[in-house]
Amino acid sequence: MKAKDLIARYEAYCPQELSLEGDISGLQIGSLDKLVNRVMVTLDVRETTVAEAIEKGVDLIITKHAPIFRPLKELTLTPQNKIYIDLIKHDIAVYVSHTNIDIVPDGLNDWFCDRLGIKFTKPLRLTKDSYGIGRIGDVPRQTFSEFAVKIKNVFHLDSVRLVSYGQESKIIRRVAICGGSGDDFYKDALVKGADVYVTGDIYYHTAQEMITNGLLAIDPGHHIEVLFIEKIVEKLNEWKKEMFWSVDIIASQAQTNPFSHL
């Protein structure tokens, strides 16, 4: 089948138009007007991902994070540029689904809520056409530390960062969440009555502001978005069965999380 036919079904579920203004989504490397026999889903496209794709004979990569975040000034053989050069050399197309998969119903933030038992959810911040990024909803009455431990266990983390000033025993009921780097939306969580805000990459001074304004927070890291791989592989396999696609769908096994903790 052609890559564009598979992507057409993906975009019927998760349109590019839902993306935040200025975001990168859609085809970034290669062509969708090519035959594909094997598709790989990944969170990131790094040197480990590219080596895996070449070894496994992948024709199309679907990724959440775009490999090219900033305009290129040259395509000389630097370590970073080698990622792009190897993809082009081996005719591997790269399709990006970034904030649109965060916003779409039955997308990444809804999957987080399902895993964490956050119920009766609504968008954290409206974007357009009644869609929104992030989610806010209710959890059973529990302490802040109990919920933090749940996050750690659900996402198989070695640690989580707490923004709490020692308030670990505080009872929480209402939780806001936004995958990735979402500390820009913490004021939305406050306005909508969240006791706790869960997001990655919380900035030091923003964390202090959260405490001052009475909001607790949990930073589980950016990499919990790796759930994208499992869920998109699941959806692609459902569509493969429904539409009789003759294509292999595989999940990337490459390690792309740059962080570990002692």
Q: Tell me whether residue 110 is exposed, middle or buried, using C-beta atoms within 10 angstroms of its C-beta: 0 to 12, 13 to 18, 19 or more.
A: middle
One domain, residues 121 and 79: no
- Residue 83 belongs to domain spanning: 3-101+225-250
Q: What is the mean pLDDT of each run of 10 residues along the chain (262 residues)?
A: 98 97 96 98 98 98 96 92 98 98 98 98 94 98 98 97 96 98 96 98 98 97 98 98 98 96 90
Q: Which residues pair with 177 in a beta bridge?
A: 135, 198
One domain, residues 14 and 71: yes
Cβ atoms within 10 Å of 73's Cβ, excluding its own = 6
First to last CA, the chain: 46
Per-residue pLDDT at 54: 98
One domain, residues 27 and 95: yes
Per-residue pLDDT at 166: 93
Per-residue pLDDT at 71: 87
Residue that is written with structure tokens 């119903």 in the block: 105
Does residue 58 fall inside a structural domain? yes
Per-residue pLDDT at 128: 85
SS3 call for 68: coil
Residue that is written with structure tokens 């794709």 in the block: 53
One domain, residues 74 and 150: no
One domain, residues 180 and 159: yes
CATH at residue 84: 3.40.1390.30
